[in-house]
Structure 1
């Protein structure tokens, strides 16, 4: 029997049907008003037939005044409740669960969308970010604003639960707001929300507690957490381990490990071959984390062969295999993994040869494939990167979002 087909029981009793999960990817498929579109919902209907035990959505923003990408879905009230219900129903009749990843971008947001940036501290991004120097410096959140954001995470979660989603995942990685609070580089506060690790972790702990108080014990809550920021002066591996302990003690149901920020994108590192440690990113970290927690661990980044996936689960170092970009190219990947009709899931994309453009291609090329799925088309592995880029650039240029 394929070990990847084994069930996984989470701490609150929720059962995942197998060990394969679609990790969050940017879909960028909302309307201009940031509600779910039929194309987005149809893509999840396709993935619901993939054979994966868990599907995690791309960024759902908790505040319409703080949006990471042009077409992020926003859930801050019940205005689009029927559409959310339809999205949640995309997994009906399958063994897949659909969890919503909820997020706030903090300082990591495009100036074309957000006129004002809010962050733990008035510390700008070191690279990328805004062209207008006067707009690069984020405004430090005050106490009331911090409490309001914590409340917003809980508010979004109960709306999504009521709509029929199977669970939520807090985005605590990749340089977004939760990650910013954890980072001593981004968070230089001197009050109870900054300074010591205990204080910097206070935000994510309070976010978790607020969500749990609203959704109850039977609704699973997960988090995506950086193994490290891979930046000088940033969130370290040792600090990450301590946060794993804190969240485990709180009773969180699933911890997904990733790493890096969009300034230092370790989560998009080059795939390597051969042994499990060479194919998979952050494997050294997950082995250490396993020694300090019994909370289920999910690892995302680099898994491309069924042999390595099986070895990872057999080793008992982790519990759930997280896969992202291959889902955009192999929409029935779960079934193919289970019956081993395909054993390798490479995702080599064509490049333009322009470094600045090809960096963005790691996201927008896959968004284009997801859109194809939602339009009822098959993935197109040879999709022209220039066509992808020009369509995206046109949206930004004409502000068609």
Structure 2
């Protein structure tokens, strides 16, 4: 059995989106030849909400180490709030401590807190340990360079320059890359010729069925956010201006049918929940202003506050139908689609035509998935009509796709990459 040391600053009970791949993979690593251990940042230092139900999905035998971090209340005065920067020194010390008594075949960085990945280069140079980086998002990117200041992330000037400096430190020595997008891998290999021939694999997040059971067992713990007097169409996930091209066709089609006097469609309500990454109560709406602009504000409810993962699953179950919009970034792939696909609800999805999501959903058998350049008012109106004129039949997904995109299969794919990155040694 080979040993895998996983670096994931956010980890249960912290409800961070970037730990979901690891959380869903942990039950399957051992069956594929890898004994996994995790180093996380102690939740008391995290700046995200906690969800202790997440712990129910973690196998009891998994060894989890916790490290400290500098307190954000102190470092934020210097403009440094990132948990990666606050925990970097503590991670270095903990890994050094472990290596005094244990031997690992691979270090796996699975996080969007990318600065910690530079430790891979340090420990490879000092101890000869191979490392793999999971690119769930781009690290250094010029996507926002031509965007208005209001659309750029907070502290963009600093993070852009820091990422440009740190990324090559980690990437020039990496032994393997996993990514949710083919484009992320090709961009990195073009940017860093030294890694052109290292093992790489595009592996999306997977669908993890045990989560639905945990959610159902605890459904009474969550408030119902939906109004049962309406037919509720729900999207849960981040908002932002980059989502507007995918949402605009929906709102325009809704406006058109309402203007045509179809009173029954006034019973539709569109919920956009958890659209901001800001602390609860401080988020700025990014969807409801668009709804006002397009004249459908009365039909749209935006809740900027994030909700817990299992509250998300229960809310998706309570919805009458689901809507998933994609980013205008052609490299964007939405790993969030799998909880939707675990929920047998009518589903409408609109993405950039270059997004891998479109093909994945078609593989599943989702009938109403479109790109925002060619989707028509008639396409969307047909979706509205099916909701109003009766209960649509639950979708019947293709069994082959369900297995192909399961968390179990995605873990198998990761372990194959690990084997390649370590030269297949036992």
Q: Tell me if TM exceeds 0.5.
A: no
* Greater relative contact order (CA < 8 Å, ≥ 6 in sequence): 1
Structure having the larger proportion of residues in helix = 2
Return the TM-score normalized by structure 2.
0.29
- Higher Cα Rg, which structure: 2
Return the TM-score normalized by structure 1.
0.30
